[in-house]
A and B are shown apart, each in its own frame.
Chain A
Amino acid sequence: MCRLFALTSRDPVSPMLAIDALNVMKEGHDGSGVGLYLSGLGGPFEDLKEYPVLSGIFTDAGLRRLSEYMTEKGFSSKYSVMFKPDTEPPVGTPKRGTYASIAYELPPEWKDLDKDDLGERLVKTRLELRAEGEQTGDIMVFSFWPDTIMIKEVGDPMAIGEYLQLGREEIHARHILAQGRQNTNYAINLYACHPFFIEGIGTMTNGENTAFIPIKEYLQSRGVTGYQGYQSDSEVFTHIAHFTTKKLGLDISAYKHVITPMNDDEMKDHQDREFLSSLKKACRKLIIDGPNCVIGCLENGTMFMAQDRKKLRPGVVGGNPELGMYAFSSEICGLNAAIPDRDKSQDFQPMHLDTAIVGPDCREVVKCSQKDPLLLQR
């Protein structure tokens, strides 16, 4: 079973904090891979929040092609963090080349675009690069979005952390999603490694998604650029979160109403019953059956955790408001390792109706039950 660990903090912290937590939970995962989503970047990226950051892995030829491609499109590189390991990779990890995170200045004609158009173009650019790379194997792109870095690699998380020197200050971040292990049902593919990302939304999941095919087919038919790939059965969770918040304009507290709607009895006395019941019907294709624990981060740094209806995967949220740091973990030992100094009695394990949300201010865990009145929808 995959181990998940997410950290949200007022001040930028080292991603190694999350990797350490994964390592503590190692008992259950086979260490075949690690994925990192970083946002709310500190260090040199702190002042570059407006500029989209392209993160991926490139061979030398790939870097050249990237540079040509981006120049042709009118992008100019603003700042880049290139890391080319000079040590031998850990056992099982291929030698790939340069792990790059490059902030770009937008082409002049893009600057007047509205937010949605710009987002779509960024996604398109990422997908074009990805498609290019899939032909040659020179380029792998995981994200292209402001204030976001994604790193993925095959191997033991701790060994990868040391190999890629993930403790470097330049990639310190306020919001970190980290997952240990690759997916299992399909061929090992870096694109299948959690977390997944689209337009400012990153999520990761453990367990397995039994409803993968119908959900995938449904999302693909929505005509949204970026709903593609699907190397992992869990990638749909990210897209559902994207669909819920960006396409339907609902608050993240409604995410759980989409993936695991209440049954008729539970809904009976709900003050928003009419809306929820129609949402349940319209989004029936997006109902998951789990078992899954989904942890995700939104563009504004809001982090959340939700479970499948039967709660067959564990998850716990806890933290210290004074430190301004909260963690979402699939096991309590991971939480203990990352934030030992906290009021453990306040730890929250979301049950089958709950969504745990920690805002970007990292002050408290908001516990949303599906039985609560809906928050004002955006």
Chain B
Amino acid sequence: MLSERPITPSTLSRKDLPWQVKWDIQTCTKCGRCTSVCPVNAIELGVFRKREIKTSMGLNAKPVNEFSTFYGIRQRTDPAYACIGCAMCNMVCPNNAIEPVRQEHSTTLQFQNNRGGQSRTRGGRRNSGESLLDQLKFIRISMLTDPALDAGRHEFDVRTLLGRVLSPENEIKCFNENGWKPPVREIYPLVIGSMSFGALSPNMWEGLQMGVAYLNEELNMPVRMCTGEGGCPPRLLRSRFLKYVILQIASGYFGWDEIIHAIPEMKVDPCAIEIKYGQGAKPGDGGLLMWYKVNKLIAAIRGVPQGVSLPSPPTHQTKYSIEEAVAKMIQSMSMAWGFRVPVYPKISASSTSLAVLNNLVRNPYAAGLAIDGEDGGTGAAYNVSMNHMGHPIASNLRDCYKALCVSGAQNEIPLIAGGGIGKNGNLAANAAALIMLGASMVQVGKYVMQAGAGCLGSEKDRCNVCNIGVCPKGITSQDPRIYRRLDPEKVAERVVDFYLSFDTELRKVIAPLGRSTSLPIGMSDALGVSDKHVADRLDIKYVI
């Protein structure tokens, strides 16, 4: 730092930064760990020089300058290096001598985020702690006529169906005539949403896969995980664990060459194929894997050169309309696996969700519809997309479910809801609420990272650097020096832990409502909310 600092339109004082690094000179041992771990280089080792003028009493001696030098930590005020509040510095400090502190009133950085004419992109979350799902209450508690069940002892069947379910009439007809039946998977209603192998570090991905495999094979919980755009590691494609994986094909088609070529060698079918048309974090936008994360491995899997940004187009460029896409993509994907694998599209919750759904209802090969609400997202998205685009999930899902009820297909096309589930930690309650609003299953990504790998991000713009490959915990970094911080075994352990506790909590919600042998899909009479408008909109009870 210069001794005479220039003051220009974009210089900021420390006071202007939302996160300020508090450093205690008394307890600091100057080990340097904090500066070396800081993912954004917000702090640096500083050499401080101090001049003191010493004056003695009387007039005999002249005042003298005394110079001292000491070492410490300096927070940079350049907006490009602003502290993101991840607190890794504190995590590695032996004496807790350093920590970031949030300065709520400092909003100045917001005006400096778009330097060089570049809009801010970031990973992470919507930075809004509000959650409608958290406001919903389960009010239909069975008390006397209908005894509440014992969540710990009764038999529970917490499973759901992914795939086109035939109507009872058609099912019987098909059985009698030995006809073709769309594939249906019986799975756990909480799916790990799409986070691609490029977005997540190899260690994180491996941890998740191990956790999922353990849940399936040891605990008999048919948990499934979606790959996200970007393909799938070749070894997994050829392993028996592929059946726990939902392969995603997105508009960039990254990695699909590899997948298609692996088909003849696949030992098992994948659980399902998800065709991504849209996502909650950046609706109407394609994916974006920034160049920082495209290392040799990712480039090989995706079939692209190293070190280039990989934006997916906002639409499937070969398709003209959703009708065409539904007809062609679903059919060709189904055909690729001999019509043995459910294929469903994923769209961002929007005013066109119903249009997409209407097209699916009449498509015998469509296996479901995943709707991603505005709160989703891990990878790179523009700030403005993440914060201001998209439709909240609750009413969108409800509209879709009610549309299915009208056409009598609510059992037939499963709705998969995502976006904003468990954003304040209430995963089971949020998931149960969405199921009662009509979702057959829910998908979460963010919660999995937060709970499974100790992601530091919060709804207060903390961290959110998933996109530039410097994830301090090694979750979304492709740099081995960083991701080796993450132990895959421990991630797997945590994934299993939170699934088990989710399971218990879900039972604690549905058992008092009297449900145990079937998931309470569409049991909207169990829900209440103290906001009249919300109650009317969602067609649930208004309670105060």
Instruction: Point out residues on A near B: beta carbons under 8 Å.
Output: 1, 184-185, 207-208, 210-214, 217-218, 220-223, 243, 247-250, 260-261, 263, 274-275, 278-279, 281-285, 287, 289-291, 309-310, 312
Contacts and interface: CB of A to CB of B under 8 A. Distances in A.
Contact of B410 (A210, A212, A221, A274): A221
A217 B405 contact: yes
B523 interface: yes
Given A214-B523, A263-B155, A285 B515 contact: no
Contact of B171 (A1, A184, A281, A310): A281
14 contacts: A214-B523, A217-B405, A218-B405, A218-B408, A218-B411, A247-B168, A248-B169, A248-B172, A278-B174, A282-B166, A282-B170, A282-B172, A309-B155, A310-B516
Contact of A289 (B166, B411, B514, B521): B514
B11 interface: no
Interface residues of B, number: 42
Leading 4 A-B pairs by shortest Cβ distance: A221-B408, A210-B514, A282-B171, A208-B146
A223 to B, nearest CB: 7
A212 B525 contact: yes
Nearest to A308: B517
A218 B165 CA distance: 14
A243 B411 CA distance: 16
Contacts of B513: 210
A87 to B, nearest CB: 33
Contact of A207 (B140, B146, B516): B146
Contacts of B186: 281
Given A184-B145, A282-B165, 6 more contacts: A185-B145, A211-B518, A218-B408, A261-B517, A275-B175, A310-B149
Interface string B141-180: 0100111010000110100010001111111101100000
Contacts of A291: 146-147, 514
B162 to A, nearest CB: 11
Contacts of A287: 517-518
A272 B496 CA distance: 35
A283 B514 CA distance: 19
Contact of B518 (A274, A279, A289): A289
Nearest to B412: A282
A217 B171 contact: no
A36 to B, nearest CB: 22
Contacts of A283: 168
Contact of B515 (A210, A218, A278): A210
Given A210-B146, A278-B181, A285-B410, A221 B405 contact: yes
Contacts of B165: 281-282, 284
Contacts of A281: 161, 165, 171, 184, 186
A275 B178 CA distance: 11
Nearest to A286: B168
B145 A284 contact: no
A248 B167 CA distance: 10
Interface of B: 140, 142, 145-147, 149, 154-155, 157, 161, 165-172, 174-175, 181, 184, 186, 405-411, 513-518, 520-525
Contacts of B155: 263, 309-310
Nearest to A206: B145
Nearest to A209: B146
B414 to A, nearest CB: 10
B517 A260 contact: yes
B169 A310 contact: no
A230 to B, nearest CB: 12
Contacts of A214: 410, 520-523
A208 B142 CA distance: 9
B147 A263 contact: no
Nearest to A244: B168
Nearest to A217: B405
B115 to A, nearest CB: 53
Contact of B516 (A212, A261, A289): A289
A279 B171 contact: yes
A210 B169 CA distance: 25
A175 B214 CA distance: 56
B373 to A, nearest CB: 22
B161 A221 contact: no
Contact of A222 (B408, B521, B523, B524): B408
Nearest to B150: A310
B357 to A, nearest CB: 15
A247 B173 CA distance: 12
A235 to B, nearest CB: 15
Contacts of A222: 408
A222 B410 CA distance: 11
Contacts of B166: 278, 282
The interface centre, meaning the residue of B142, B146, B154 with most chain A CB atoms within 10 A of its CB, is B146
Contacts of B516: 289, 309-310
A214 B518 CA distance: 11
Contact of B522 (A210, A213, A250): A213
B161 to A, nearest CB: 6
Nearest to A250: B172
A283 B172 CA distance: 11
A263 B145 CA distance: 26
A125 B513 CA distance: 38
A261 B517 CA distance: 9
A220 to B, nearest CB: 8
B524 A282 contact: no
Contacts of A211: 515, 518, 520, 523
Nearest to A221: B408
Nearest to B174: A278
A249 B174 CA distance: 14
A211 B513 CA distance: 9
A312 B161 CA distance: 27
Contacts of A282: 165-168, 170-172, 411
A192 B66 CA distance: 96
A213 B540 CA distance: 11
Contacts of A289: 514-518
A185 B161 CA distance: 31
Nearest to B408: A221
Given A185-B145, A218-B410, A279 B514 contact: no
B207 to A, nearest CB: 29
A279 B168 contact: yes
Nearest to B525: A213
Contacts of A250: 172
A312 B172 contact: no
A281 B523 CA distance: 18
A310 B142 contact: no
Contacts of B409: 221
Contacts of A218: 405, 408, 410-411
A184 B518 CA distance: 24
A277 to B, nearest CB: 9
A223 B175 CA distance: 23
Nearest to A1: B145
B526 to A, nearest CB: 8
A263 B516 CA distance: 12
A234 to B, nearest CB: 11
